[in-house]
Amino acid sequence: MDSSGAIVAADPVFLGALGVHGVDASAALRARAEAVPALRALLSGEGPATAHLDGPGGPIEISRTAAGGGAILFVSPEAASATDAETLEHAARSNALTRVAAGVAHDIKNPLNAMALQIALLSEKLASAGEAAAAAAASHLGPLRDQIGRVNEVVRRLLDVADPSAPLGYIDVAALAADASALLAHDARRRRIELVLHVEPGVKTRCDPARVGRLTLAIIHGELAVTPDGARLAVRVEGRADEVRLVLEHPPADRPGSPDYDSEVAREGARALGGALEVERGTDRERVVLRFPRNRRE
């Protein structure tokens, strides 16, 4: 909130907890404050820094912290609204699904490796049985070996995206974006979307690998979901002096419901990592830029 009392940015959960709705959130908050003296005193800075109010989901506690040019308002966790609880539940479910996906990938990968080893042993035994037997089996074993390799590669991509590791303290965003795009390629083909990938190899960030992985997958999946059928989605990873940029471009999308909620969540996630999210929606194209601090030890 700036010094005039206008809302500069607000989480939808925060507005829902206060019962502030409508296009003009600042006007709605001022109207609520006129009817609630405790809130009016808190917003003006003339009263206590904490106020107890009645919210749509029950009593809430709101606190005010002075900041440069204005203030930051918080709703305390113990006063979580139904919307807040649903958001937290979704976050917990997403985290659990990430762990499940990683576990399933490991459980599939081990049998695949065992099958590939058995095929190699079988090929050696058939070779010792004579050229005729080896030649007859090769037409069957070769495709089987290729398909195992293909499934193994899909599992590797899933594992790297769901649970990326960073043993050296950084993660390769170019490789991550390539793996995420490959996992989503089936949906793109089904909808006749041309998914074009351009990456600078070896572009890395020092940020938390799990959060970078989730944000990268979420951004690519989200923009693919709103790209019109038969259109083109360009995914680009590029390095700058101090930052890594993931850039997505596609024609204007028809966005049902609230078009900004997912972007706000991703924007907060990027900001927490020291990066940023920029969204440009024009009449001829939409452009999303996700920025991460670049690893300076490259």
Q: 3-class SS at 56?
A: coil
pLDDT of res. 23 = 62
Q: Which spans in the chain are helix H? A: 12-18, 25-35, 37-44, 82-128, 131-162, 173-183, 185-190, 209-226, 261-272
DSSP state letters, 181-210: HHHTHHHHHHTT-EEEEEE-TT-EE-S-HH
- HSE of 92 in the Cβ direction (CA atoms, 13 Å)? 6
**pLDDT higher at 178 or 30:** 178
* pLDDT tens readout for residues 196-216: 999 988 889 988 888 888 889
Residue 147 predicted with pLDDT over 90: no
* pLDDT tens readout for residues 62-120: 888 887 678 888 876 544 444 555 555 555 556 556 666 666 676 777 788 888 888 88
**% of the chain residues with pLDDT over 90:** 19
Q: Residue 97, Cβ neighbours under 10 Å: how many?
A: 11
* pLDDT tens readout for residues 218-268: 899 889 988 999 999 999 999 988 899 999 999 988 765 545 556 777 888
DSSP state letters, 22-33: SS-HHHHHHHHH
* Degrees, nearest 5: CA angle 226-231-235: 70
Average pLDDT, the chain: 80
Give the span between the Cα atoms of 96 and 123, in whole angstroms: 41
Residue 289 predicted with pLDDT over 90: yes
CA–CA distance from 65 to each of 55, 62, 70, 221, 243 (Å)? Answer: 20, 10, 9, 36, 31
DSSP state letters, 100-133: HHHHHHHHHHHHHHHHHHHHHHHHHHHHHT-HHH
Helix axis angle, 209-226 relative to 173-183, nearest 10°? 40
Give the span between the Cα atoms of 131 and 256, in whole angstroms: 63
Give the span between the Cα atoms of 286 and 248, in whole angstroms: 8
Q: How confident is the model at residue 44 (pLDDT cuts 50, 70, 90)?
A: confident
| Long-range contacts of 250-256, Cβ-Cβ distance < 8 Å, separation of 24 or more | 250/223, 250/226, 250/285, 250/286, 251/227, 251/284, 251/285, 251/286, 252/281, 252/282, 252/283, 252/284, 252/285, 252/286, 253/226, 253/227, 253/228, 253/286, 254/226, 254/228, 255/226
Mean pLDDT of 181-206: 90
Phi, psi for residue 121 in degrees, rounded to 5: -65, -40
* Tokens standing for residue 217: 């997958």
On whether the CB atoms of residues 14 and 32 are closer than 8 A, the answer is no
Residue 46 predicted with pLDDT over 50: yes
pLDDT of res. 91 = 56
Residue 57 predicted with pLDDT over 80: no
Q: Nearest Cα to 5, choosing from 29, 35, 34, 38?
A: 29
pLDDT of res. 217 = 87
Structure-derived torsion over alpha carbons of residues 41, 43, 48, 49, reported in degrees to the nearest 10: 170
On whether the CB atoms of residues 246 and 219 are closer than 8 A, the answer is yes
